[in-house]
Amino acid sequence: MSTLEIVTKEIVDLHEFFTEWFNGTADRDQLGSQFLSRLDENVVFIPPEGHILTGEMLKGGFDRDFGTNKGFRIRIRDVTIRREVGDLVMATYTEWQVGATQSERENARVTSVLMKMTSPVTWLHIQETWLPDSARDVGSFDF
């Protein structure tokens, strides 16, 4: 598999787990194996609102939010490799959400991610930014 294929699969698989988690259809004991184990111990996540979250903060939020968003769906689009340096890859993708309860019900964001191409892939840094209305207006929430 190419780097783009590996990165795309990693991103899509993780977001499929998020959908199952928030819908309450995942096994509750899979949080560690399906999500937390993918994160570097010093991971930084910056959501569109701009605050910084650590891995421990993410774990706490996910623990609280299991099954709290029954109609939630995600579609990943536009995965692009931006840089490869040794075993590090920087990629971007857009994430389209339907049925969100903690933000606009239909929302979209562009995400930059720094990953270490280990087996399994390790997420080092994630930063999300809201897509502007002009980009959202030409996209589709039909999924």
pLDDT tens sequence across 30-49: 999 999 999 999 999 999 99
Distance, in Å, from the CA atom of 11 to the CA atom of 116, rounded to the nearest integer, reads 13
Pairing assessment for the beta strands 73-85 and 53-54 based on DSSP bridges: unpaired
In the chain, domain spans = 3-138
Q: Please tell me the CATH code under which domain 3-138 is placed.
A: 3.10.450.50
DSSP 119: S
Cα 30 to Cα 85: distance, rounded to the nearest angstrom: 31
Q: Which SS3 state, helix, strand or coil, does residue 50 take?
A: coil
Q: What pLDDT, on a 0 to 100 scale, did the predictor assign at position 124?
A: 98
The per-residue pLDDT of the chain, averaged, comes to 96
Kindly report the number of other CB atoms within 10 A of residue 42's CB atom. 9
Span 53-99, pLDDT tens digits: 999 999 999 999 999 999 999 999 999 999 999 999 999 999 999 99
Residue 3 has pLDDT above 90, yes or no: yes
